Amino acid sequence: MMPHVLTRSLDRSATVFLIVVAAVGVLIPLSNLLLPAGSLLQVPTYLVALFGKYTCYAILALAIDLIWGYCGILSLGHGAFFALGGYAMGMYLMRQIGSRGVYGNPVLPDFMVFLNYPKLPWYWNGFDMFWFAALMVVLVPGLLAFCFGWLAFRSRVTGVYLSIITQAMTYALLLGFFRNDFGFGGNNGLTDFKDILGFNVQADGTRAALFALSCVALIIGFLICRAVVTSKLGKVLIAIRDAESRTRFLGYRVESYKLFVFTLSACMAGVAGALYVPQVGIINPSEFAPGNSIEAVIWVAVGGRGTLIGAALGAVVVNYAKTYFTSGPLAPYWLFMLGALFILVTLLLPRGIVGTFNSWWDPWKAQRITASAASAAREDGVSEPDMAE
């Protein structure tokens, strides 16, 4: 039943998108592992890690587009859920170091030994097991989103006020995780990872496998989002986005719908953060910075709000531009360029890249179908009746 629900929501563009992601997820790791170094088609390991980071950002963009593009919830704090998922995975990776750390303590991470922790904090228990860490990757962001959403939506906080509150939430977490006595490494965060599931996290094969896993997660996340937005639930979400008061008047429990989709979106962001950490090799409080959440919203706006494919495309395009421009003489001006990009897209392409393309393509496609139908009718000897007769 579930596979049928997921696949029946796909149209031609969605199918092409999934095929492209699957092909990239297979070909890039194979190119990195099987082709000799220096070969024209060989993808270097650093590019595999970079593409893996882009893929994680695409999952985060999907999560934001689900609530903003289809439900009208503009969250400026989704970086918090992304970072919480990353910290949950980082805690597992730190527990895997064991006695191979600088201080050789088999239980305490190096930063705890340096700060004279007498024992492992209680909330670190269980993170030596992968299944427990994987559960926390989804549960912690989801629980925070559920509690926050229950309070906010029940109080009918909407619009810019909700955006400001979400931004305040991620900034509060930023300040908390900066504290050394918070138990998460303070300003330095968590790093110096060794293994994941017994495999060297720095090995080429592990990095290729992580990239492939990120592509699989992107495919699954996209299918879940498509299943939601093309269902009856998705129609209610769009109604809430366009006319929340009228939808409530018709008898729908608007708060419950918003709470569900907000929690689902936070869980997706947590998964993206968990896949991001082992590929980047570090997680620190800077991931909670409100600017990161705002930048993620720009990805969605550039790609096309309410299109899903556009959100993922916008994440890749903007981050590729960021990688390119921040490594040269234009690096000090990147934030100005990003702001200018957002302004230009808002003024010239308000529907984003994919949304604008669809607005051009759909009328042309409808005209082409009408012309084909008319041509077929003439060939069959069927003509429109003459109104003069």
Q: What is the pLDDT of residues 87-107, one digit of tens each?
A: 999 999 999 998 898 888 999
Write out the two tokens for 84.
């919480």
CA 239 to chain centre: 24
Query: How many residues belong to the chain?
Result: 389
* Distance in angstroms (rounded) separating the CA atoms of residues 260 and 222: 17
Q: Which residues of 351-382 are buried (b: 16+ CB within 10 A; e: fewer)?
A: bbbbbbbbeeeeeeeeeeeeeeeeeeeeeeee
Q: Of 292, 58, 62, give the one whose Cα is nearest residue 170.
A: 292
- C-alpha distances (whole Å) from 292 to each of 143, 164, 342 are 21, 14, 14
CA 279 to chain centre: 15
Q: Decide if pLDDT at 353 tops 90.
A: no
- Confidence label for 77 from pLDDT (cuts 50, 70 and 90): very high
* Distance in angstroms (rounded) separating the CA atoms of residues 102 and 25: 36
What is the tens place of the pLDDT at every residue in 207-242?
A: 999 999 999 999 999 999 999 999 999 999 999 999
Q: Decide if pLDDT at 347 tops 70.
A: yes
Provide the pLDDT for residue 380.
62
Judged on CB neighbours under 10 Å (0-12, 13-18, 19+), 112 is: buried
- Reduce the DSSP state of residue 189 to 3 states and report it: coil
- Reduce the DSSP state of residue 292 to 3 states and report it: helix
Write out the two tokens for 120.
């492992």
- List, in sequence order, the alpha helices (H) in the chain: 2-7, 12-34, 45-71, 78-95, 110-114, 130-154, 159-178, 204-229, 232-242, 244-249, 254-280, 290-303, 309-325, 334-348, 352-379
CA 345 to chain centre: 21
- C-alpha distances (whole Å) from 382 to each of 23, 377, 387, 388 are 46, 5, 15, 17
- Confidence label for 361 from pLDDT (cuts 50, 70 and 90): low
Write out the two tokens for 128.
């030596």
pTM of the full structure: 0.90
Q: Which residues of 79-95 are buried (b: 16+ CB within 10 A; e: fewer)?
A: bbbbbbbbbbbbbbbbb
Report the range of poorest mean pLDDT among 158-172, 194-208, 370-384: 370-384
Write out the two tokens for 171.
């900034």
Q: Would you give the DSSP letter of residue 308?
A: S
What is the tens place of the pLDDT at every residue in 257-279?
A: 999 999 999 999 999 999 999 99
* Distance in angstroms (rounded) separating the CA atoms of residues 371 and 52: 44
What is the tens place of the pLDDT at every residue in 294-343?
A: 999 999 999 989 999 999 999 999 999 888 888 777 778 887 888 888 78
* Distance in angstroms (rounded) separating the CA atoms of residues 113 and 103: 7
* Distance in angstroms (rounded) separating the CA atoms of residues 295 and 153: 24
Q: Decide if pLDDT at 2 tops 80.
A: no
